[in-house]
Structure 1
C-alpha cells in the first residue's frame, strides 16, 4: 500500500453504500445512524494521520483540518477552520491553486496528481507541502474536496543546496579549465582575478607577488568601478616577515569579516583602510615549499562574513594557480632555452660536423680494437688511427710496470718527432711528476712543458695531451699526443682521446684476462688429464690385489668353516663379514672408476637391441619389491599399455635404472612412495595427453598416490618413432633436496652435505656414471625436487642415431 495514499480513498471505500458486506453489517441500522458512525470514523482517521488532511468547500474555505497541521504549520485547527486557504498560500501560488481547485471540481471522485504548495508557517516562514487533491463532494461522509499534504520543506532545501553546490563546482571547474588553457602567466592571473570576483560577488580581487625581502607588488587586479584600483602598488609590511611568512607557507588562510572589530596590528589596519577594505579573504599561493604570493579578495562596501564554500573555492583556485604558474614558468624557461638554442645553431653546426667525424673515427677504432684480443695489435691500431685522424705530430702509448714506477713506450704513430718506441724511463725522473699523479687518478693532462723531458729531448716545443689507460682496477699506462706549441686540443678532441684510451684500457684488460683464462684452462685441462690418468692407473693397479684379497678371504673362510671355528666364534664371523663387505665395497669403487674411465674415453661401443619395457621394467624392479616392503615403502610402476619397443643398450639402461631405484630405496622414509613412470614425448617435449586433448584414458593403477612430477599416459594411436622420445622417471616422496645442490648432484665424488640422516654409504660415482651412460645412449637425465618430492627424469630416443 502506498504510504501516501489519500485518506479520502480509504473513507470512500468504507462509506460506499453499495458494498455488500457493509450492507449486511448495517442492515439493522438507520441511514442517519450509519452516516453518523462513518463520520466519526473519518474524523478519527484524519486526526491520527501523520500527514495534514484538510477538507475544503468549493470556494476553498477550510471545513476541517487534522491535528497534524499544528505540528507542521504551527496553527491549531480552530485557527484555520472557516478561513479561505488562499490566506495561507504564497501569493505566487494562488493562481495555481485556483486552477487546481477548478479541475478538481470538474473531476468528481478523481485524485489529481501531486503538486507543491507553499504555505505560510505561523512564525512567518514558508513551508513546502506536497499535495494530493481529491473531489469527494458527492460522498455523504465528507461532502468536500479532501487535501492530503506532506511537509517536504527539508527535502526541497537539501535539493536546492545540492543544486547550488553543483553549480558552484561546475563554475569552479570552468574557471580552472580556463586557467589551464593558457601558458602565459599574465593571462592566467588576469583570468583568475576576474573569474573569482564574479564568482564571489565581491568588490576587488588581487594577486600579490612577493619579492625576496618579503615586500611585494600587486601584479593583477579585478576591481568594481566604484572602488580605487591598486594595481602595481608596492607594499612594504614591516611585520609581515616576522608574523605571517611561516604560517602562510604552512597553508594558513586568513579571513577578516569586519575590519573595525578585527584583532590585527595597527600598521596592518592602516594598510587595509588605505585600500578601502572592510573585509578580506587571503589564501597563499605556493611553489613547492616557497611562498610565491597571495590570492586576496577585498569586500569594500560593507563587512562580510566569508562562508566555508567561498574559502574552499579560493583554496582550490590557489592550488590550480600553483600548477599553472609552475607550468608557465617552465614554458618561459623553454622559450628562453629555444632562443638561446637558436643563437647556438651556427656554432653547434661546426661542432656537430667535427663530432660526426670523431664519432666515425671512434667507431672505426673501437671496431678494430674489439675485433682482436692481441695486445700489440690493439695498441698499434689505436695510435695509428688516432694520430692520423687528429693530424697530430706523434701519438704513443706507454705501459706501466706493476709497481707504477716505470713506463715503456710500446707503440707509437710518429710523423715529426724522434722515435722512442721501446724506450723505458723512470716516472720519478719526469720533469713534472704531478702529471703522473693526475694520470694515476684517471685524469688527463693538457700542458706545454717548459723543460726537456728524458723521453722526448726536444719536447718543450710542443703542446701535449696525456690521457690515462685507466679502469676500475687501476692504471695500465698512458697515451700521449703532440702538437706544435701554438696549437691546442679542444674539448671534443680531448673527449675523443679519453674515449679511445678507455676503449684501449678495456680491450687491454680483456686481452690480459683472456690470456690468463687461457692459461688457467690449459692448466685445468692438464690437471684433469693427470687426475683421470691417475684414477685409471690406480684402479687398474688395485683391481688385481683386491681380487686376490677377496679370493684369499673366501678360501680362509672355507678353511675356518671346515675346522668349525666360525660357528664357535661369533666375533670371528663378524670380522669375516666386515672383511667381505669392505672388500666388496672397494671392488665396487674400482669397477665404477674403471667404468667411468671407459665412458669418458668412449672406447666401449654400445650394443643396441629392442626391448619391451612393459615386461623388462617390472623384471628389473622385482628385486626391489621385497626391499621396499621390508622398509615399509610403497613401490609403484606406471607403464602405458601401448608403449612401443625401445632400441637401446640394455646393459647401460639396466645400470641406470638399478642405480636410481637403489638410491630411492636408500633415501625414501618409511611410509612414503617410490614411483617408476614411463611416458612418450614428441619432438616438442609434450606428452601424449598434451598432444591429444580428447580420447585419452588414465592407466589403471593398483596403488594409491600419483607422482605429480612425471606421469602421463601414452596415446593409443600409432607413434612415429623418428620424432618421439621416451621418458622414464623415478620419483620418491618424503625427501627434498636443496635447490643449490641440484646442479652438482651428477658430479663425480659429490655427496650432498647433511642430507643423509641414515648415514648410507656410497662411492659418490653412481649418479656420475648414470649421467655418462645416459649421454652414451644419446639421451639426458635431470633432477627436480620440490614439495617433499624428488624426481630423476631420464629421456632417451626410441631409435638412437648410429
Structure 2
C-alpha cells in the first residue's frame, strides 16, 4: 500500500509534466506558424524583433527548463525533439541560434549540424552543441562540422545565457560587417557606373542619345520598373516625358502634365530637391497602378531643365545610396544636355551662315550681271548711234534711231534703279534715311501710281484692277518711301503673274489698321519661301515668265522701309493667289 501511495503521486507528476510539455508544444506550434504580412498604406514604424532560439533535445525535461529560463530573458523559443523536426523548423523559421543535443536517436547532432551547414538558408545560423557530462564525444568533429561552442549538461543557466549572448553578438557583428561590405561594394559599383554613364554622355552630342543612355543604364543597374526623363518647357509650365526605358510598366513617353496641377510635388522639385513618394500614376488608369517614384531634378548653374524619374513597385523604396546615384546621373545629364543643345545651336548657326554666304555669292553674281547688262546695252546702242551719224544724213528720222534712243532710256533707267536700290539699302542699314511724313489719301494717290503699270499689264495680257475702299483712307507716311514699297509690289506682280490673270490693288480698313494690298492670281509661293522672301539677296526660284530678272533686294528694302514708317508688311499665298500687304496702325494714320 505504501508503495502504491508513493507511485500514485509520482505518476500524477509525470502526467502533469506531460500535459505541461504538450501545452508548451502547442504554444510553440502557434508561434512557429507562418505570420500574416500586413501592407500598410502609411509609414510603418520599425518593430523591435526578439531574437529566436531553436532548442533541439530528445529529453522533454531539458526542453522545458531551457524554454522557461530563456523565454523569461526575452527570447522567442522554438522547440524540437528530434533532428527531422529541427531541420524543418530551421528551414522555415530561420532562428538566430540553435542549441543542439549531440546524442539523439536515429540522426545525431553532428549529422544534423552537417545538414544545416549544407543548405544556404541555414548555413550561417550559429550552432551550440549540448552534451551530457558523462557522454564521450569528439568535440573536434563538432567544430569541423561548423559548431561554434559546446555546453555540458547539466550546466549553470547563467553560463548558457552568457554563451548564447556571446555568439548572438558575434553573429550580429558578422552580419553588420557583411552589410557594410555589401554597401561599400555597392558604392564602388555605383561610382563605376557613374563614370561609365558620364563617359557615354560626354561622348555624345545628340540629346536623344543622351536621354536614351541615361535611362537605360539606370533602369538596368537599379532594377527599375521604369526610368523616365521629363523636360520642362521654356516657361516651366508643362513637363513632358521626353524619353523612358520601361521593362514592366505601360509606356508614358510623350505624356505631358501641367506643373500647376501638382503644386506640392513640383514646388520641391523646382527648388532642386529630390522627392520620393508612393502614388497612383494618372497615365496608368484604369489599371490604377501604384508605384514608388523617385524624382531627382536635372539642373545646373543656368537653371532647371527637368527631372529624372525612377519607378519601382510600391513595396520597394530607394536607399540613400541609390538616391545619391540618381542625383549624380541627373547632374551629368544636365551638363550633357546643355552641351548637346549648344552644339545643335552652333550647327544651326553654321548652317544659317552657310546659307547667307551662298545668298551673298548669288547676289554678287546677280548684281554683276545686272550692272553689266545695261552697260552692254548702252555700249551697243552707242556703236549703233555712231554708225547712224556716220552713214545717214538725217539719222533722227530713221526707225533704228528711235529704237536706239529707247535702249538708252531703258538702260539708264535700269542702271539708275539698281544703284538707287543699293544706296537706299546702305542708307537704311546705317539708319541715315530722313523721313518726311505727310498725310496721304490712298484712294487719290494710288490711281496715278497704278497708271504707270497699266500699259505693262496690258502688254503682258494681264488685267490690272483697282479695288479701293469707299471711305477716305489717309495715312501718315513718307511719300517717296510709300511709293517705293507699292512700286515693288506692282513690279513683282507684273513680273510673276501669267497671262490672262489679274492683278488687284486693294485698300481697306478695320477698327485697328489700314491696309494696302497687291493681289495677283495664277501664282503661289510655298510656305518655306514665304519665310525667306524678305531676306536680303533672296530671290524666288520660280520661273519668271517675262524674264525680268532681279537682284533680290526689292522686298528687303520693302521690309526695312515699312519698319521706318512704323508699318508692317506680310505675305500670304494659297489657292494660286498671292497677297502682299502693307498695314498701318490707325493710331499712326490720322
Please tell me the TM-score bracket, short chain as reference: 0.3 to 0.5
Q: Which has the larger radius of gyration?
A: 1
TM-score (norm 1): 0.32
* Larger RCO: 1 or 2 (CA < 8 Å, sep 6+): 2
TM-score (norm 2): 0.41
Bigger helix fraction: 2
